[in-house]
């Protein structure tokens, strides 16, 4: 689903590359943790998947397409196949829960009737049924992140990218979010999650890719956050 | 394409930046009104030129007994007059019409012009003399007549009315250049202001546009609300400018200038409507172009 082949990313303003000769292959339906200290290249990895950046060298394949060679007018189509969730939720404060999720469908031109059936379904799935008319500031952090996940998932993407989705949440709420992501993963959606949360990585025991200074230093099938034993 | 969604985005955008929207509308209105006024003046001048140049005549005054000029030796003889008439006849089609004014006719006209003044009483028909009034098909070619006839025996002088009018039209041309210069400066200001407003709008809505990009909205969908906003502002501004132009036509031209200066024609409603269409077209086009160029820089996909 996502394949990095000898990918190097060099930002113009920095002298050492953000990613160095990275080779990672993520299969359809996998759940992968991307771990490593700040500045190790996790976010760059995710940005390359979304074509927010182009690789300096090497090839990035996402959903069967060579992302580096994708022409700019095809990029929106790529992004419709990828849902994205961030640490800071990125909800629109002046829109209700329903409107926030519906927004993602409206801006890609989905018909009104489709939105009216799909949005309540996904809100129920993330456990926010009954809160459709609330505004983001009326919700807890965990609930806000659920709205963000609903928005990312409402168009049933093949891939869900999460950049520290539990970074702003307390441990109990984080577990709830992890359970939700696990449910989404079990529908067949590939999930790549960058995280600092050692506890979660150790508990869930999924594949772990660790980056340090832009290099893949570990790729374990059922890994833990740090080097254990 | 979801028309209702785009419409609500546009409306929200216009309201959120209300002060900038108002500034934009007023600037567009003022600059377009100036530009339109410049176009009207231009049309007015060319209409006046057409009207007056049509009436311009070259006058060839024949010698009288009082003439002091070197070419004169007493009143012009019959042969000289006949030769002159034949020469003028030979200069068609440049010479369109020739009218011979006798001393009596000149005297009557003179009496009317200076009625009540002591000059009128002291003049006699012989003092005024005879003249040929020559109308040219192309008034700009008057020098042909001047060079052919001035200084010839029996001719006192050749007068060209166009030389007098030229001074007036040079003044009007100058005014026209100044008004157009101001209008163009204002249009440049408008383009820059539209660009700036779009930049602000793009910045104040970076959350929305950021999410739109992430969920895969097309460039067109992201930029359309901004583009429509600037076009709507331009359209409102242009309509205000048209109202100003119509106001000028009614208040200044129809109510004041036309009754006061009945000897010359003024711009009509057909010109006003053409200018209005130009204003709306230019306003919308400039706003759209400047928005597109700004958005390309500030709303990358």
- For A170-221, write each residue's pLDDT tens digit: 999 999 999 999 999 999 999 999 998 888 888 888 999 999 999 999 998 8
Mark which residues 136-155 of A lie under 8 Å from B by CB: 151, 155
Beta carbons of B215 and A79 less than 8 Å apart: yes
Contacts of A143 (CB under 8 A, 6+ apart): A128, A131
Mark which residues 196-225 of B lie under 8 Å from A by CB: 207-208, 210-219, 221-222
| Angle at alpha carbon of residue A187, lines to A183 and A190, rounded to 5° | 90
**Residue B77 scores a pLDDT above 90:** no
Q: How confident is the model at residue A46 (pLDDT cuts 50, 70, 90)?
A: very high
Across A52-56, average pLDDT:
90
For B54, the token pair is 């049509």
**Residue B229 scores a pLDDT above 70:** yes
Beta carbons of B215 and A112 less than 8 Å apart: no
Q: How confident is the model at residue A154 (pLDDT cuts 50, 70, 90)?
A: very high
Closest alpha carbon within chain A to B214: A79
**ipTM of the complex, rounded to two decimals:** 0.86
**Residue B247 scores a pLDDT above 80:** yes
> Which residue reads 């994708």 in tokens?
A70
Q: How confident is the model at residue B301 (pLDDT cuts 50, 70, 90)?
A: low
For B276, the token pair is 């209005």
Give pTM, 2 decimals: 0.72
CA distances from B135 to A188, B45, B58, B110, B243 (A): 94, 21, 6, 21, 42
- Cα gap B217→B236, rounded to integer Å: 29
Chain A residue numbers touching B1 (CB-CB < 8 A): 109
Distance from CA of B276 to the nearest CA of A (A): 36
- Cα gap B35→B40, rounded to integer Å: 9
- pLDDT, tens only, B120-133: 667 777 777 788 88
Task: Output B128 or A86, whichever has higher pLDDT.
Answer: A86
- pLDDT, tens only, B167-186: 877 887 888 888 788 888 88
Chain A residue numbers touching B5 (CB-CB < 8 A): 106-107
Contacts of B291 (CB under 8 A, 6+ apart): B194, B195, B198, B226, B227, B229, B230, B231
| Angle at alpha carbon of residue B44, lines to B40 and B45, rounded to 5° | 120
- Bridge partners, A191 (sequence order): A31, A160
In whole numbers, what is the pLDDT of chain B averaged over residues? 82
Q: In a 10 Å sphere around its CB, with 0-12 CB exposed, 13-18 middle and 19+ buried, how is residue B138 labelled?
A: exposed
CA distances from B21 to B122, B209, B242, B282 (A): 72, 20, 19, 18
Task: Output A121 or B21, whichever has higher pLDDT.
Answer: A121
Per the CB < 8 A criterion, the answer to whether B131 and B61 are in contact is yes
pLDDT reported for residue A227: 58
- Cα gap B41→B39, rounded to integer Å: 5
Chain B residue numbers touching A49 (CB-CB < 8 A): none
Q: How confident is the model at residue A229 (pLDDT cuts 50, 70, 90)?
A: very low
**Residue A109 scores a pLDDT above 90:** no
Candidates A54, A106, A153: best to mutate against B (most CBs of B within 10 A) is A106
Q: Which of A54-63, A195-204, B95-104 has the lowest mean pLDDT?
A: B95-104
Task: Output A71 or B91, whichever has higher pLDDT.
Answer: A71
């Amino acid at each position: 689903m996502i394949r990095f082949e000898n990918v190097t990313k060099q930002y113009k303003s920095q002298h050492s590359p953000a990613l160095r000769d990275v080779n990672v292959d993520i299969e359809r339906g996998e759940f992968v943790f991307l771990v490593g200290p700040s500045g190790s290249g996790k976010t760059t990895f995710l940005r390359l998947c979304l074509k927010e950046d182009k690789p300096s060298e090497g090839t990035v394949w996402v959903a069967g397409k060579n992302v580096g060679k994708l022409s700019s007018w095809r990029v929106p189509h790529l992004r419709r196949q990828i849902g994205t969730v961030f640490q800071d939720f990125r909800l629109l404060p002046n829109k209700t829960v329903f409107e926030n999720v519906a927004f993602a469908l409206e801006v890609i031109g989905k018909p009104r009737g489709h939105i009216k059936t799909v949005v309540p379904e996904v809100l129920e799935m993330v456990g926010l049924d009954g809160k459709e008319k609330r505004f983001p500031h009326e919700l807890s952090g965990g609930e806000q992140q659920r709205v963000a996940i609903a928005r990312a998932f409402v168009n049933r993407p093949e891939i869900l990218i999460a950049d520290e989705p539990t970074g702003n949440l307390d441990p109990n709420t984080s577990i709830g979010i992890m359970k939700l992501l696990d449910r989404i993963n079990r529908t067949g959606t590939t999930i790549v999650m960058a995280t600092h949360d050692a506890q979660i990585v150790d508990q869930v025991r999924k594949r772990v890719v660790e980056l340090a200074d832009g290099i893949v230093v570990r790729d374990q099938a059922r890994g833990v956050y740090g080097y254990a034993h | 394409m979801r028309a209702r969604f785009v419409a609500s985005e546009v409306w929200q955008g216009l309201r959120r930046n209300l002060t900038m929207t108002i500034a934009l509308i007023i600037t567009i209105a003022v600059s377009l009104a100036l530009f339109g006024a410049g176009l009207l003046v231009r049309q007015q001048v060319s209409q006046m030129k057409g009207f007056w140049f049509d009436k311009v005549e070259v006058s060839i005054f024949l010698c009288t007994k009082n003439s002091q000029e070197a070419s004169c030796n007493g009143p012009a003889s019959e042969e000289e007059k006949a030769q002159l008439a034949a020469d003028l006849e030979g200069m068609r089609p440049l010479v369109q019409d020739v009218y011979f004014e006798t001393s009596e006719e000149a005297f009557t006209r003179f009496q009317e012009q200076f009625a009540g003044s002591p000059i009128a009483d002291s003049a006699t028909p012989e003092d005024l003399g005879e003249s040929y009034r020559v109308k040219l098909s192309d008034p700009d070619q008057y020098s042909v007549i001047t060079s052919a006839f001035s200084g010839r025996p029996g001719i006192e002088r050749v007068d060209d009315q166009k030389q007098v009018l030229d001074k007036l039209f040079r003044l009007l041309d100058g005014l026209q250049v100044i008004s157009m210069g101001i209008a163009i400066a204002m249009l440049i200001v408008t383009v820059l202001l539209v660009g700036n407003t779009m930049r602000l709008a793009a910045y104040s809505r970076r959350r929305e546009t950021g999410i739109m990009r992430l969920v895969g909205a097309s460039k067109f969908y992201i930029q359309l609300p901004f583009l429509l906003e600037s076009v709507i502002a331009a359209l409102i501004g242009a309509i205000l400018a048209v109202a100003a132009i119509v106001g000028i036509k009614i208040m200044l031209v129809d109510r004041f200038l036309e009754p006061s200066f009945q000897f010359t024609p003024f711009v009509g409603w057909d010109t006003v409507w053409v200018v209005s269409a130009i204003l709306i077209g230019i306003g919308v086009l400039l706003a759209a172009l400047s928005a597109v160029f700004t958005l390309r820089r500030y709303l990358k996909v």
